Amino acid sequence: MQDILRQALKLALLSALVASSAFAAPQSQDPPSQEPAKTSPPAQQQTPPQTGSQPVQQKDTVTPKNSKEDVEAIGNRNVGKGVNLYSLEREISLGKQLAQEVERSSKLIDDPVVTEYVNRVGQNLVRNSDARVPFTIKVIDSDEINAFALPGGFFYVNSGLILHAMEESELAGVMAHEISHVTARHGTKNATKGELMQLATIPLILLGPGGWAGYGIYQGLNLAIPVTYLKFSRDAEREADFLGLQYMYKAGYDPNSYVTFFERIQADEKRRPGSIPKVFSTHPPTPERIENTQKEIARILPARQEYIVTTSEFDSVKSRLRNIMFTRKVGDNAPGKPTLRTKTEQSKKQPTGNDPNSTDDDRPTLKRRPDSQP
């Protein structure tokens, strides 16, 4: 027994050391989130804040400090490095399992025109990213403005996001951001931290009052919840902003559209407080985040003569999707469909007062147990 406890203590020390480096890894991998304000030239710092109608002024040539800032090196750099217990094969297997859960609880858009278009836009971004896994892209039938990518490249775009985007480049910007979470392997890095923390608690459980019984309880707990793979730290969100800008730029889109979409979301929230979409609830498009994005555009993305802003195909697909959603809602409200009766509607059917002759079957009745005493 003492040998077992001694080995458990060694495991705790090793886990603590590895866990500490795991928590430090995202900080060391995300220098761009802090460098721009310090390294930008004075003239650039004095430039007034940009707005959605005023594109960020870009330089004709830029000098990247490292490969992570070099858009020409995209695809040949190890973006997802860091402490990670998941191999790419295991990450894909994990993502497949999570995707099955998503599709069990969601309704997918199966229109071939819509799905083919969204998949084509996404795959173009993937080809111009640091992705090391294949992507499967599907559209969820939901009014919520949202998109999310699971580990292993299983990517879902809500119909609400497509309808809310004004231009194809805005849709591409949000999709590029989510693709970045996969290329940087944020989901499995989060899971790695959780697993290392769990390993570090085993010796404490063994030495506690429960002993081996406590260890049995520990094994029965499912501490790794799916939100681990979708809820990211502020550093991870900054890195996804940083990489997403590069991916949409590399694919030919105007990176300013990323800013204008954020600004419109922010304006909607100011007009109607509480209306901010859930996708932005944990890391909202704050002025600081928008400003950092503008600085990155000016600092690392060389100017181009032309950008893709939108296409006629985007407009036609958006119109087609709007008709699909309208038809679905009409069908849901069709006569004969099951409906929920409100409390007010139910009370209208009940007579006023305590009528002993009431025969309302909806009212509960109390019965005396046969074995109860009077």
pLDDT of residue 355: 55
Burial of 174 (0-12, 13-18, 19+ CB in 10 A): buried
Which comes out higher in pLDDT, residue 285 or 127? 127
Radius of gyration of the chain (CA): 27
Confidence at 113, pLDDT banded by 50, 70, 90: very high
Is the model's pLDDT at 313 over the cut of 60?
yes
Classify strands 154-158 and 136-140 as parallel, antiparallel or unpaired.
parallel
The pTM for the full model equals 0.68
Q: How far apart are CA 326 and CA 62, in angstroms?
A: 47
Token duo for residue 184: 């940087």
Is the model's pLDDT at 295 over the cut of 70?
yes
Encode pLDDT of 234-261 as tens digits. 788 889 999 999 999 999 999 999 999 8
The stretch 331-342 carries a mean pLDDT of 63
Task: Specify the range with the lowest mean pLDDT, choosing from 173-177, 203-207, 208-212, 222-226.
Answer: 222-226
pLDDT of residue 93: 93
The percent of the chain in helix, strand and coil, each rounded to the nearest 5, is 60, 5, 40
pLDDT of residue 198: 60
Instruction: Give Dmax over CA atoms of the chain in angstroms.
Output: 94
pLDDT of residue 266: 77
Q: How far apart are CA 173 and CA 179, in angstroms?
A: 10
The stretch 96-105 carries a mean pLDDT of 92
The stretch 303-330 carries a mean pLDDT of 93
pLDDT of residue 269: 74
Token duo for residue 38: 């310090």
pLDDT of residue 112: 97
Is the model's pLDDT at 172 over the cut of 80?
yes
Encode pLDDT of 188-201 as tens digits. 888 888 777 665 54
Residues sharing a CB contact under 8 Å with residue 265, sequence separation 6 or more, in sequence order: 145, 276, 277, 280, 285
Token duo for residue 70: 């070099």
Encode pLDDT of 27-69 as tens digits. 333 433 334 333 333 333 333 344 445 788 887 777 888 888 8
pLDDT of residue 181: 93
